Structure 1
Amino acid sequence: MSTLTDRPGTALLVIDVQNDVVAKAHDRDAVVANIRSLVDKARAADVRVVWVQHSHDQMTQGSEGWKYVPELVREDSEPLVHKTFGDAFEGTDLEDVLASGGVGGLVVTGAETDACIRSTIHGAFTRGYDVTLVGDAHTTNDNSEWGAPPPEQVIAHTNLYWQFQDGPGRTAAVTETKDVTFD
């Protein structure tokens, strides 16, 4: 399993499902519903839910756009990691939060697929975590006017290549919300 052999736990990461980030995201409502389902499953199984929240000059902390979507409510006991880079590990206390919970495996959800999701799954894998991307619980916006493929292709491509990610002592996987269990 994980190269973090003294950390057998798993955590659900909910990355940047904030009002401004997902306002016009591809399949927004279905993705948010899937994430909510995963949060409920994790809580029922007593699995740590870690919330990640991005800020920058146009989305300042405390603004309406910066807040998590109303369908997803963090419990006070659940860690909140503030970030300003794509990779949720860069310049944050995420590693400390996960280490304190004995977490070596991550189940990843959120936005945006081609930015913070991709950066974080690679960052986690490089740091020794087992990383499962929930294929129907991440989304992105349409960035095709800047040369990106349409959002459904970005999501499909990320799901495709992540299932073949490989490294010694670590696993990478893609699964669907309905197949996630926190046993």
Structure 2
Amino acid sequence: MDGSAPQARVSPGPQARPVVRVPVVLRVNGTEHRIEVDTRTTLLDALRDSLKLTGTKKGCDQGQCGACTVHVDGKRVLSCLTLAASADGRAVRTIEGLEQNGTPHPLQESFVKHDGLQCGYCTSGQIMSAVALIEEGRAGSDDDIREFMSGNLCRCGAYPNIVAAIREVAGRGDDA
């Protein structure tokens, strides 16, 4: 022992990886967008940051809340868990794409009518999931609606009103 203090060993830590960018063609709400994204960019971030479509919300960023729900090729997906590059060339529909010729989608109108929104943060994801639920033919009973909407969380607790809005548009009326 030479009396000197032991030297700490410092591991170099993870190596910084180079940013790899790829060209992506996103067909969003019927319009083709050619953008370049980092390979790690989520569809959510591409929609919000690159295309400035901010109706799709970033909630938990972990696929737990459903606020980021969009449709890709007609199927609902959590855009925070979907890489933008994986949507290359595919049809993406966001909440902004539901209206037709300035007329809101029937579910958007029904959510307003039934007060299916309170703070409104989860609303776009709720509506996108509900549209898919109806298109999939899964709005049989209130229990079915609740089950197939269970991936969408609402902190305000507007669930009964959301179910009523979906029931109405699914053609089951208010008394089902």
Provide TM-score, normalisation by structure 2.
0.29
The answer to which structure, 1 or 2, has the higher relative contact order (CA under 8 A, 6+ apart) is 1
Rg (Cα) greater in structure: 2
